[in-house]
Amino acid sequence: MSSRPVLVCGFGVIGLTSAIRLLQGGYKVIVVAEHLPGDPLTAIYASTAAGAHHLSFAADDDARQQALDRRTFDLMWEEERTEGEASALMKLRQVEYYATEGETHLKFYESMPDFRVHSKDELKPFATHTVSFTSLTMDTTPYLHKLVKIFNNLGGTVHRKSLNSLRDALEFEQEPFAIVNCSGLGSLKLGDVMDAEMFPVRGQVVVLNAPWVKEGRTRQVGNLAGGEGGERTYIIPRRSGQVIIGGTREYNDWNAEPVPETSLDIKRRALEIFPELVPPESQLERPPVPEDLNSIVIREVVGFRPARKSGLRLERGHDLDVEGRLITVVHNYGHAGAGWQSCWGCAEEVVAILAKVDST
Ligand SMILES: Cc1cc2nc3c(=O)[nH]c(=O)nc-3n(C[C@H](O)[C@H](O)[C@H](O)COP(=O)(O)OP(=O)(O)OC[C@H]3O[C@@H](n4cnc5c(N)ncnc54)[C@H](O)[C@@H]3O)c2cc1C
C-alpha cells in the first residue's frame, strides 16, 4: 500500500464517503473543497439540499447501479438498526404511486423489505399502479456531520479552497499517490476535467415541520427515464420531524432562488397524495389547500443535481501530467439524483480502483 497521501477534491456526501473508505483502507487522505458541511445552504452544494430518501432509479438492466444502490442500502439499514433513535437515518413505509397507464415499478424494489404490489381495489384515484415496501430516509445535515466526525477521528485533513483545476490541489501535497475527483457539478468547469457532459437538474423543495407524518410517498407521472424523467411528487419524513416535500426537475436551470409559484405547486401536488400533511388540529371537512400548510413551512430550498449526459462517472481517468510526472486520477462524480443512495457503494469502488493501481 502506498504511503503517499490521496488527495480528494470535494467534501459532499460523495467526497466524504470516499475519503472515509480510503482512510479505513489505510491511506492518508487530504481533502480540498470549496464547500464544507455546516456552510449555509447553497444550490451548488447538492448534498445539503437533498431530501433524501433511498429510492433506487437503477434500470432493470443496469446491474452496476443496482449493486451500488444495494450496497449503500444494506450498510445504511444496518447503521440505522444499531444507532436506533440517535440515527440520522430512519426506516419507514414507502408507497410508490404510478399515474401513467402502462408505467410500472422498477425491479429493484422487489428486493426491498416488505415489498407488495397493491391490488386494483386498493388503488387511489390518482394512480394506475402502486407498490409499497420499507425504505430509509436520510437527514442530510446531521448525517454529513456524523461523516465529518468519522473522517476527523480517522485522521483525515481538509482544506477549504476553490480550485481552478485538479492540479491546484497539489499545493497541499506535491507527491500524492492519486487524486480522487468528487467535485460533483464542479467537474463542468474544473480544469483537468472540464466535462461538458455535466449539467444541473434543478430541484426545489419545501421543508415542513410535520412530526406526525411517518410514511414516505411518491407519485411518478410519465416515464422515469433513468431517474430524472417525468413529474415526480414526493414526501420525505425525517427522524427529526421535518418533512421534505417536492419536487421539480428542471434541466440546465441555474436559478438558485426558490420560485414562489413552484412552492405553491409543490404543496398542491403533495396534498393530492398526502392530505394528512395538514396539521391534525386544522384538518377540516373540505379538501386541503396549499395555504393550509403555510403555518408549518420552515424553508424553501433549491439544489442542483450534478447530472451527466452519459451517466455516473466512476472510473480511473487519464493520468495528470505534471511536468512529466504522471499522477493517477480517479473520478467519482455525476450522480444526478442518486448520490445519497449510492454513496457507500461508489466509495468502495474508488478504493477497489486504487487497490488495482497500487498492485501494479
Ligand atoms: C432537491 C434534491 C433532492 C435530492 N434527493 C435525493 C434523494 O432523495 N436521494 C439521493 O440519493 N440523492 C438525492 N439528491 C442527489 C444528491 O444530493 C446528489 O447526487 C449528491 O449530493 C451529489 O453529491 P456530491 O458530493 O457529488 O456533490 P456536492 O454535494 O455538490 O459536493 C461537491 C463538492 O465538491 C466541491 N467542489 C466542486 N467544485 C469545486 C472546485 N472547483 N474547487 C473546490 N471544490 C469544489 C464542493 O465545494 C463540494 O464540497 C437530491 C438532490 C437535490 C438537489
> What are the cell numbers at 244?
421534505
Query: Which residue's C-alpha comes closest to atom 51 of ligand 1?
Result: 50
> How many angstroms is it from 10 CA to the middle of ligand 1?
9
**pLDDT tens readout for residues 187-234:** 999 999 999 999 999 999 999 999 999 999 999 999 887 777 889 999
Predicted local confidence at residue 103, as pLDDT: 92
Burial class (CB in 10 A: 0-12, 13-18, 19+), 357: middle
pLDDT in the model for residue 186 = 98
Among residues 333, 262, 273, 269, the alpha carbon closest in space to that of 302 is found at 262
pLDDT of residue 2: 83
Nearest-atom number in ligand 1 for the CA of 35 is: 47
Taking the centre of ligand 1 as the mean of its atom positions, its distance from the CA of residue 147, in whole angstroms, is: 15
Lining ligand 1 with CB less than 6 A are 9-15, 33-35, 45-47, 49-53, 162-163, 182-186, 190, 203, 205, 246-247, 303, 305-306, 333, 335-341
Mean pLDDT (the chain) is 96
Grade residue 358 by pLDDT with cuts at 50, 70 and 90: confident
Q: Ligand 1 atom closest to Cα of 204?
A: 1
User: Ligand 1 pocket test: which of 236, 335, 342, 349 has the largest number of ligand atoms within 8 Å of its C-beta?
Assistant: 335
Taking CA atoms, 259 is separated from 256, 264, 266, in Å, by 9, 9, 11
Residue range 275-329, pLDDT digits in tens:
999 998 877 788 899 999 999 999 999 999 999 999 999 999 999 999 999 999 9
Please tell me the residue having the least CA distance from ligand 1 atom 8. 52
CA atoms of 3 and 28, how far apart (whole Å): 7
Q: Distance from the CA of 105 to the center of ligand 1, in angstroms?
A: 26
Minimum CA distance residue for ligand 1 atom 2: 50
286 vs 218: CA distance, rounded Å: 23
Domains located in the chain, CATH noted: 6-358 (3.40.50.720)
Q: Do residues 128 and 99 touch, judged by C-beta distance below 8 A?
A: yes
The residue whose CA has the least distance to atom 13 of ligand 1 is 337
pLDDT digits (tens, 9 = 90+) for 9-43: 999 999 999 999 999 999 999 999 999 999 999 99
Q: Model pTM greater than 0.85? A: yes
What is the pLDDT, as a whole number, of residue 226? 76
Q: Which atom of ligand 1 is nearest to the CA of 336?
A: 19
Q: How far is the CA of 113 from the centre of ligand 1 (A)?
A: 28
pLDDT at 4 over 90: yes
So what's the pLDDT on residue 282? 78
